[in-house]
Amino acid sequence: MGKPKRKTAGAGALAALPLYVFALVFVLGPLIYMVALSFMTRAEAWGVVPEATLKNYADIFQPVYLETFWESIKLAVVSTLLVIAIGYPFGYFMAKLTAKWKKRTMLLLMIPFWTSSLIRLYGWIIIFRAGGVFDSCLMALHITEEPLKMLYTYPAVVVGMAYALAPFMIFAVYSSAEKLDFSLVEAARDLGATPWQAFRTVSFKLTLPGLLSGVVLTFVPSMGLFFIADILGGNKVVLVGNLIQEQLMKAHNWPFAAALSVALLALTTLILFLYRKLSGASDLEGLV
Amino acid sequence: MKKRFCFLLAMILCVSLLAGCSGGAGGSGELVLYTWEGMFPQEVLDGFTEETGIAVNYANFDYDETMLAKLEAAEGGDYDLVIADDYIIETVIQQGLAQKLDTGKLENWGCVNPLYQGQFFDPGDEYTVPYGAGVQTIVYDPTAVGAGIEGYGDLWDPALAGNVGLIANYRVINGMALKVLGESYNVEDTAVIRAAGEKLLELAPNVRLIKDDNLQDDLLSGEVGAAVLYTSQATVAMAANPDLEMVFPKEGIGFGIMAQFIPQNAPNPEAAYQFMDYILRPEVSAQCYEFLGYYCTNKDAEALLPESVRPYLTLPDSFSKDDMEMIGNISAQAMEEHQKVWTEFKAACE
């Protein structure tokens, strides 16, 4: 028994070699570079000079930059709540569909991904702009008299975020709900639970891991989706992602950009850690 | 059936591969032009290839900074001709990534408008040939916000609440506040930059959006009533709606110049000279500037510009070098203060 087992393990390790090389070259390497950069000093005009400093980290604690972290977390929370409201019921009921309709729904969810997310965001501009689809509908229904000027507002950014991230929540909840044995719900109902009680004590508990991994998959990326705030928010919502991009591309301050990235990474790692503590799971439900 | 389809597909792939090869090797050389997208009309590029047999390989960058990073990585090679902004060219020259020009090779060198020469980034005109210039202009819709905007200061008018659009260039926008305070764009004193930041916070309630790309669309669609625009955007806006008003701010005009340079180790500098000379020809130049929508830096081309666009693409005769202030490079410390002020300002806009 022992011998063939070891053989397979060896072959497996060999097969996984490209993965390790890939991870070393494209994940660990850049990460080390980024951390090293974050301790360097910016050059006067362009580039960096290799003088160790903690200034970049100290700069993060200036109120204006702490504010962007706080702003990012707030937006991530609001977007995630909206995504839960849309994605949880969607994923849950999708798991109850017949196999044929499951496939169709899945396809409908996938189709938008065939188009660049940037182009889809420009679609939202057409909907939200003054006299656009949204305004015309509201005015035609006599809900509002004047154009609302939804574009370049906070709600527009939240909608854009939710739109971009909802599929991740739907898939996470779906994969969890699909494994749910509905006979357990029926059993709860037979034993006298109301539909709500049955949902709360059985279905919800059993789909919680899916929901939690959906939250992670929504919350973490929403900290970095800076282009949504740019395009739909008119640059007025400054997120950490925007700040990093600006420091890198316009301010020529790469060390500060690197320090901000390390801080963002630390924050997301903390969230993943909390997720593990909370759910006791060692991976993301159904997605890893 | 399936097999035949696969065979056909393989054939198509082979043919396209061959086509790719012949495309790369054809012509009597290649010019690798590195600049933003949409800097030349296709006819001009085609005309050059037709005349010289040199194929133009047009490579794009989004930001000046991307260009410098790539040029640095290529050690001044890979590209034959680069067109970028003044301030970055100053750094390019300092880094030794540009080569000195032999202006003797440029027959049309004399066509360049001296107004745009001898500037901070290349005081001796040793490295660059200007290609277009821009100023920050306020364009507004009098039917939406009433008449009477004459300078940056007027944008602070509470009547414009939520009705102003700004380009996303922090030196330009912070500079606006500096100008209102009667300071220079290039001030180094962080206390002054901070004061400009305070002033800028008072502008926040009026700001509806800040963005670099196609800001003129938001003015044309009525999303905003007044906007601070780049010259090319102002030109497009005025062409689309002549009822708009274009204002040179009374506080002073900030200038930016785009210029061409040959990287230190350009593979084909001769092609670059030929191209520069070609686009310096007044008739070609006029075609370029009409397309580009920036100020014409070729004085012999000015007369050839169509009447309809000439007022937007040339400066009045009364204009002198003293009227313009270039936005140049400043110390790292001053830049960091600008960044702080800019981030605070953006966050304050709701």
B160, B183: one domain: yes
Determine whether the interchain pair A249/B63 forms a contact, defined as Cβ–Cβ distance below 8 Å: yes
Domain count, chain A: 1
At B127, the pLDDT band (50, 70, 90 cuts) reads very high
Report whether pLDDT(B202) > 90: yes
Mean pLDDT for B320-330 is: 83
Confidence at residue B125, expressed as pLDDT on a 0 to 100 scale = 95
Confidence at residue A146, expressed as pLDDT on a 0 to 100 scale = 78
B102, B180: one domain: no
Confidence at residue A277, expressed as pLDDT on a 0 to 100 scale = 82
Q: How many Cα atoms occupy the beta-carbon half-sphere of A6 within 13 Å?
A: 3
Q: Which residues pair with A46 in a beta bridge?
A: none
Tokens for B86, please give them: 């003044």
Mean pLDDT for B44-55 is: 95
Determine whether the interchain pair A151/B329 forms a contact, defined as Cβ–Cβ distance below 8 Å: no
Determine whether the interchain pair A151/B344 forms a contact, defined as Cβ–Cβ distance below 8 Å: no
Confidence at residue B128, expressed as pLDDT on a 0 to 100 scale = 96
Interface test with B, best of A61, A235, A248, A256 (most B CBs within 10 A): A235
Determine whether the interchain pair B209/A46 forms a contact, defined as Cβ–Cβ distance below 8 Å: no
Q: What are phi and psi of B159, to 5 degrees?
A: -65, -20
Confidence at residue B19, expressed as pLDDT on a 0 to 100 scale = 42
Confidence at residue A191, expressed as pLDDT on a 0 to 100 scale = 92
Confidence at residue A282, expressed as pLDDT on a 0 to 100 scale = 57
Report whether pLDDT(B43) > 90: yes
Confidence at residue A135, expressed as pLDDT on a 0 to 100 scale = 84
B112, B208: one domain: no
Confidence at residue A2, expressed as pLDDT on a 0 to 100 scale = 44
Confidence at residue B250, expressed as pLDDT on a 0 to 100 scale = 86
Residue B20 lies in a domain: no
Query: Considering only CB atoms, which chain B residues are within 8 Å of A71?
Result: 347
B229, B342: one domain: yes
DSSP string, B268-280: -HHHHHHHHHHHH
Chain A within 8 Å of B339 (Cβ-Cβ)? yes
Query: Considering only CB atoms, which chain A residues are within 8 Å of B346?
Result: 235-236, 238
Chain B within 8 Å of A244 (Cβ-Cβ)? no
Residue of B223, B332, B343 lying closest to A243 (CB–CB): B343
Poorest-pLDDT segment among A156-170, A216-230, B24-38, B85-99: B24-38
Residue with the larger pLDDT of the pair B329 and B27: B329
Confidence at residue A281, expressed as pLDDT on a 0 to 100 scale = 60
For A126, the closest chain B residue by CA position comes to B221
Burial A10-43 (b: 16+ CB within 10 A, else e): eeeeeeeeeeeeeeeeeeeeeeeebeebbbbebb
At B245, is the secondary structure helix, strand, or coil?
A: strand
Residue A227 lies in a domain: yes
B224, B274: one domain: no
Report whether pLDDT(B6) > 50: no
Give pLDDT tens digits for A95-121: 999 999 999 999 999 998 898 888 999
B202, B129: one domain: no
Confidence at residue B347, expressed as pLDDT on a 0 to 100 scale = 92
Determine whether the interchain pair B331/A44 forms a contact, defined as Cβ–Cβ distance below 8 Å: yes
Poorest-pLDDT segment among A53-67, B23-37, B276-290: B23-37
Determine whether the interchain pair A234/B208 forms a contact, defined as Cβ–Cβ distance below 8 Å: yes
State what percent of residues in chain B have pLDDT above 90: 75
User: Is residue B185 a contact partner of residue B178, using CB atoms and an 8 Å limit?
Assistant: yes
Confidence at residue B166, expressed as pLDDT on a 0 to 100 scale = 96
Closest CA to A163 of A117, A108, A116, A227: A117
At B82, the pLDDT band (50, 70, 90 cuts) reads very high
User: Is residue B74 a contact partner of residue B80, using CB atoms and an 8 Å limit?
Assistant: no
Confidence at residue A275, expressed as pLDDT on a 0 to 100 scale = 81
User: Is residue B130 a contact partner of residue B116, using CB atoms and an 8 Å limit?
Assistant: yes
Instruction: Give the CATH number, domain containing residue A117.
Output: 1.10.3720.10
Report whether pLDDT(A46) > 90: no
Chain A within 8 Å of B344 (Cβ-Cβ)? yes
At A134, the pLDDT band (50, 70, 90 cuts) reads confident
Domain count, chain B: 2
Confidence at residue B20, expressed as pLDDT on a 0 to 100 scale = 40
Determine whether the interchain pair A249/B65 forms a contact, defined as Cβ–Cβ distance below 8 Å: yes
Domain that holds residue A96: 63-279
Mean pLDDT for B198-208 is: 96
Residue B61 lies in a domain: yes
Closest CA to A95 of A209, A173, A211: A173
At B2, the pLDDT band (50, 70, 90 cuts) reads very low
B177, B226: one domain: yes
At A12, the pLDDT band (50, 70, 90 cuts) reads confident
Report whether pLDDT(B180) > 80: yes
> How large is the ipTM?
0.84
Give pLDDT tens digits for A143-196: 888 777 889 999 999 999 999 999 999 999 999 999 988 899 889 999 998 989
B129, B184: one domain: no
**What is the DSSP secondary structure assignment for residue B54, as one 8-state letter?**
P
State what percent of residues in chain B have pLDDT above 70: 92
Confidence at residue A284, expressed as pLDDT on a 0 to 100 scale = 54
B167, B188: one domain: yes
CA distance B293 to chain A (A): 24
Chain B within 8 Å of A42 (Cβ-Cβ)? yes
B199, B243: one domain: yes
Residue B38 lies in a domain: yes
B48, B166: one domain: no
Residue found by looking up tokens 């001296």 in the block: B114
Determine whether the interchain pair B209/A252 forms a contact, defined as Cβ–Cβ distance below 8 Å: no
Poorest-pLDDT segment among A133-137, A205-209, A226-230, B13-17: B13-17
Instruction: Give the CATH number, domain containing residue B211.
Output: 3.40.190.10
Residue with the larger pLDDT of the pair B5 and B262: B262
At A9, the pLDDT band (50, 70, 90 cuts) reads low
Confidence at residue B3, expressed as pLDDT on a 0 to 100 scale = 47
Residue B13 lies in a domain: no
Poorest-pLDDT segment among A36-40, B58-62, B313-317: B313-317
**CA-CA distance, A275 to A268, in Å (whole number)?**
10
Poorest-pLDDT segment among A42-56, A94-108, B30-44, B265-279: A42-56
Residue A196 lies in a domain: yes
Confidence at residue A147, expressed as pLDDT on a 0 to 100 scale = 76
Rg (CA), chain B: 23
Q: Which residues pair with B254 in a beta bridge?
A: B325
Confidence at residue B236, expressed as pLDDT on a 0 to 100 scale = 92
Q: Which residues contact B250 (CB under 8 A, 6 or more apart)?
A: B150, B151
For A70, the closest chain B residue by CA position comes to B347
Chain B within 8 Å of A45 (Cβ-Cβ)? yes
Residue A159 lies in a domain: yes
B78, B209: one domain: no
Determine whether the interchain pair B343/A68 forms a contact, defined as Cβ–Cβ distance below 8 Å: yes
Give pLDDT tens digits for A237-284: 889 999 999 998 888 899 999 999 999 999 988 988 888 887 776 555
At B140, the pLDDT band (50, 70, 90 cuts) reads very high
Report whether pLDDT(B16) > 90: no
Confidence at residue B254, expressed as pLDDT on a 0 to 100 scale = 82
Report whether pLDDT(B198) > 90: yes
Please provide the average confidence, as pLDDT, over all residues in chain B. Answer: 89
Closest CA to A227 of B173, B211, B170, B201: B211
Chain B within 8 Å of A61 (Cβ-Cβ)? no
Domain that holds residue B118: 27-133+257-305
Q: Which residues pair with A62 in a beta bridge?
A: none
At A8, the pLDDT band (50, 70, 90 cuts) reads low
